[in-house]
Amino acid sequence: MKRILSVLLVVMMLATVAFTGCGKATTTDQAASTAAAPAESSAPAAEASSAAAEPAQAPAVTDDPSIKVLNLWSFTDEVPKMIDKYKAAHPDFPYEVKTTIIATTDGAYQPALDQALAAGGADAPDIYTAEAAFVLKYTQGDAYKYAAAYKDLGIDVDNALKAAEIAPYVSDIGTNPDGNLIGLAYQATGGAYIYRRSIAKAVWGTDDPAVIKDKVGPGWDKFFAAAAELKAKGYGIVSGDGDIWHSIENSSEKGWIVDGKLYLDPKREEFLDLSKKLKDGGFHNDTQDWQDAWYADMKGAGKQQIFGFFGPAWLINYVMAGNSGGTKPGEGTYGDWAICEPTVGFSWGGTWILGNKDTKLKKTVGDIINWITLDTSDTGLSYMWANGTFSIPEGKTVGTKDTVASGTVMKKSDGKLDFLGNQNMFDVFVPAGASATGKNKTQYDESINTIWRDQVRQYTAGKKSRDQAIADFKQQVADNLGIAVD
Amino acid sequence: MRRKSVSYAKYGYIFSIPFVLAYLVFSLYPTIYTTIIGFTDLKGLTKTDWKFLSDPFQNFEQILKNPSFITSTKNTAIIWIINFIPQILLALLLTAWFTSSRRHIKGQGAFKVILYMPNIITAATVAILFNALFGYPTGPANDIIQSLGLSKDPIYFLNEKWTAKLIVSFIQCWQWYGYTMLILISGVLGINPELFEAAEMDGASGSKAFFKITIPSLRPIMLYMLVTSLIGGLNMFDIPKLFVMNSGPDNATLTASVFIYNQAFSGSYMYNRAAAASMILFVVIAILSGILFYSMRDRSAAKLRKEEKRRIKAYNESNKMAARRAEI
């Protein structure tokens, strides 16, 4: 037995070495052929992969017929599922899709993606995605050079953008410093205040969004007045300070970096005081977003019942619905929610889709990206995404709905959700998109936000003074990111 | 004609080729590359070309002056010490029990496997597990503390500097004591059993035999344990990185390795500074290991060797004298 085991081990070790050797070899081969790509792409490759809505004026692009695998990198299974759907709709889709999913938790996705893009070769991603917190790095920052311009993928960008009425901030963020569009998001992520109808009735006698929006805003003064009223009846207004942070972060005028130096926007600095006020008043359950206690508040299982959350449509569908403790009205908090205009207008999140400039499957990559982001027809992804027909769970007639970036699609879509007591959420979310902006983002957001929110927690927990928290924040940014501070 | 004897040595070389190749490609080359880029201006994601700095030690200077780096080295030392002392004591105690000739503990194999188990679980899983255990404002640890009446309000374990450090140390200790114990047991089994028999015949108690025979004979194994644990401890990365989101409350669990990672991968891609910090860490580990080796060296053996050398010298000298005398 031992001998067999040791032989097996030796074989495995040799195999590993052999395979790594092979891997290296193919990578170099691939690199060599990438260098020769311009010559190949002019070859008349007769590859007609599908009959997707291809703009006629677009320059003709083709796939390299020798490639059989399409590499896809993403941080959730959302886009991979879209491509499964695309494959199902196109039975003659000739490629095997190799999917790599790495969660953004702990910042693991970016380093891995960076290395895959830098290494190139046969395993380099053909399509990859970037989340709002770091998309600028891939569209305008250090990594924008890896992405292909949509027009080089055979997409008639100017006409398609106009026809689909894509929200301007979505295309602003996706435009590289050379002025070419290289990324688009399929969602629009303007935010709302999402509140419990039963608590609204208990405190103010009505759950009408038109009334509640005047209670929680506009402006933080009204918000805290409402918080005090809620507190008097034993309710918290939000779950944790992360809830107000996302609306503050994304409603501030400027981002973390201005003229190459760290900049603390007055609105972001005010977060210190607002957070302290929340904690001192006992207006929240002091949870941290994406932690167990935060999810628990969505079904009212926390220390005190929580009135509401700030978030875009995706928070309702992908986070709150699943954590409401029920799947149909009457169960848990399902159906007990409604949305209204937030205290301050903001946007949060979104997934931008990019194609690798070195991809050999330019036509297919272009077709898929076009189908996901710009196709406004009833069979395009945007329409299915908005109307809940993308994936319909068993026993239901309609799946989750979401706001999409295309205004054209939104106009012909219906956002009624039984989770929201049949409120049409698009009535609130579509105007909310107007407050979305790409101008207050930087490629360092994920790292700097982590440091900032840690220091704010230190301050609100009474561990250091306000000035000390700001000083330590600046110091840590300088130490870890080498960014100049005052 | 005499037949040439078969040389087996070449098989040794052949079988070691895979390791040597893997080492050269995946260890030696990166090490050399790291050493070099520490003196360059390599910074930024898409950059691949670099040049040496006019002041070659600029990166090293910046790292040594970096307050977060200083905090990180202190944290690393504190977390390692808090984890190592209980770990080795616990491992020694378990070793004494498991190897005692008087107590025949039943199901030893099962115990060893169970105690070793934490080491098999990946760090990511452990980090998530403990994150849930020490959740705030509600979580198992807080539930227990509140129901026992130890604290009225829930404790924000991961937002308090010392609790965060202690939990990280505890996880390290819990993960590694089983491994340490196994190594120590194998060390004890390597001791000549006659020593124990003789001690028993002379009426030495169990604890006396442990302190007078087991511990001194374990010295080489202990040295091995100390040095490997020191290297592992100073390179501690996975739990601090995964458990408390990068650096913990106010940098409380920022270890040197996490600091290095942040330099290189948290947004600014300062590969040069990360390399410089790695080299500094390498030098620190080398010096500390050297000190350990020196202070833990076998003093009596060294004395014996010296004695022997002296005797040989004396013998040679007397031979020379005799030869000279004979000449005369």
Burial A388-425 (b: 16+ CB within 10 A, else e): bebeeeeeeeebbbbbbbbebbbeebebbbebbeebbb
Radius of gyration of chain A (CA): 25
Looking at residue A59, its pLDDT comes to 59
Q: Which residues of A touch B22 (CB under 8 A)?
A: 17, 20
Q: Are strands A127-131 and A69-74 parallel, antiparallel or unpaired?
A: parallel
Nearest to B251 among A107, A146, A476 (CB): A476
Contact between B156 and A461 using a beta-carbon 8 Å cutoff: yes
The C-alpha of B17 sits at a distance from chain A's nearest C-alpha, in angstroms, of 10
Nearest to A106 among B21, B156, B242 (CB): B242
Q: Which residues contact B43 (CB under 8 A, 6 or more apart)?
A: A482, B268, B269, B270, B271, B272, B273
Burial B192-213 (b: 16+ CB within 10 A, else e): eeeebeebeeeebeeeebbeeb
* pLDDT tens string A130-146: 998 889 889 998 899 99
Q: Which residues of B touch A482 (CB under 8 A)?
A: 43, 263, 268, 270, 273
Nearest to B159 among A20, A111, A457 (CB): A457
Backbone phi and psi for residue B6, each to the nearest 5 degrees, phi listed first: -75, 135
Pick from A137, A480, A483 the residue to mutate for testing the B interface (most B CBs within 10 Å). A480
Q: How confident is the model at residue B2 (pLDDT cuts 50, 70, 90)?
A: low
Looking at residue A31, its pLDDT comes to 37
Query: Which strands make up the sheet holding A337-340, listed edge to edge?
Result: A308-311, A192-196, A337-340
Pick from B138, B153, B272 the residue to mutate for testing the A interface (most A CBs within 10 Å). B138
Nearest to A461 among B159, B247, B259 (CB): B159
Q: Which residues of A touch B273 (CB under 8 A)?
A: 482
Pick from A454, A455, A472, A483 the residue to mutate for testing the B interface (most B CBs within 10 Å). A454
Q: How confident is the model at residue A33 (pLDDT cuts 50, 70, 90)?
A: very low
State the virtual CA torsion across A202, A207, A210, A213 in degrees, nearest 10: 50
Backbone phi and psi for residue A254, each to the nearest 5 degrees, phi listed first: -120, 160
Q: Which residues of B touch A135 (CB under 8 A)?
A: none
Contact between A293 and B68 using a beta-carbon 8 Å cutoff: no
Q: Chain A within 8 Å of B165 (Cβ-Cβ)?
A: no
Look up residue A248 and give its two tokens.
């503050």
Q: Chain A within 8 Å of B64 (Cβ-Cβ)?
A: no
Is a pLDDT exceeding 90 seen at residue B172?
yes
CA B264 to chain centre: 24
Length in residues, chain B = 328
Contact between B138 and A292 using a beta-carbon 8 Å cutoff: yes
Three-class DSSP category at A345: coil
* pLDDT tens string A190-222: 999 999 999 999 999 999 999 999 999 899 999
AA identity, residue A243? D
Is a pLDDT exceeding 80 seen at residue A11?
no
Query: Most distant CA pair in chain A: distance in Å?
Result: 78
How many beta-carbon contacts under 8 Å exist across A and B? Answer: 102
Pick from B61, B68, B70, B159 the residue to mutate for testing the A interface (most A CBs within 10 Å). B159
Backbone phi and psi for residue A447, each to the nearest 5 degrees, phi listed first: -70, -45
Q: Which residues of B touch A291 (CB under 8 A)?
A: 131, 135-136
* pLDDT tens string B258-274: 999 999 888 788 999 99
Nearest to A483 among B137, B265, B268 (CB): B268
Nearest to B250 among A145, A287, A454 (CB): A454
Three-class DSSP category at B6: coil
Binding-face residues of B in 139-158 toward A, CB within 8 A: 139, 156
Q: Which residues of A touch B246 (CB under 8 A)?
A: 106-107, 450
Q: How confident is the model at residue A4 (pLDDT cuts 50, 70, 90)?
A: low
Q: How confident is the model at residue B3 (pLDDT cuts 50, 70, 90)?
A: low
* pLDDT tens string A426-464: 999 988 888 787 788 888 888 899 899 999 999 999 999
* pLDDT tens string B219-235: 889 889 999 999 999 99
Is a pLDDT exceeding 90 seen at residue A153?
yes
Q: What does the alpha-carbon distance between residue B80 and residue B234 come to, in Å, rounded to a whole number? A: 7
Cross-strand bridge partners of residue A129 = A353
Nearest to A296 among B44, B138, B263 (CB): B138
Backbone phi and psi for residue A337, each to the nearest 5 degrees, phi listed first: -110, 160
Length in residues, chain A = 486
Q: Which residues of B touch A143 (CB under 8 A)?
A: 45-46
Q: Chain A within 8 Å of B68 (Cβ-Cβ)?
A: yes
Q: Which residues contact A111 (CB under 8 A, 6 or more apart)?
A: B265
Is a pLDDT exceeding 60 seen at residue A179?
yes
Nearest to A143 among B46, B66, B246 (CB): B46
Pick from B46, B129, B156 the residue to mutate for testing the A interface (most A CBs within 10 Å). B46
Side-chain half-sphere exposure of A190, counting CA atoms within 13 A: 26
* pLDDT tens string B133-155: 998 888 899 999 999 988 888 88
Does the interface predicted TM-score (ipTM) exceed 0.85?
no
* pLDDT tens string A301-355: 888 999 999 999 999 988 998 899 988 888 899 999 999 999 999 988 899 999 9
Name which of A233-237, B179-183, B238-242 the model is least confident about: B238-242
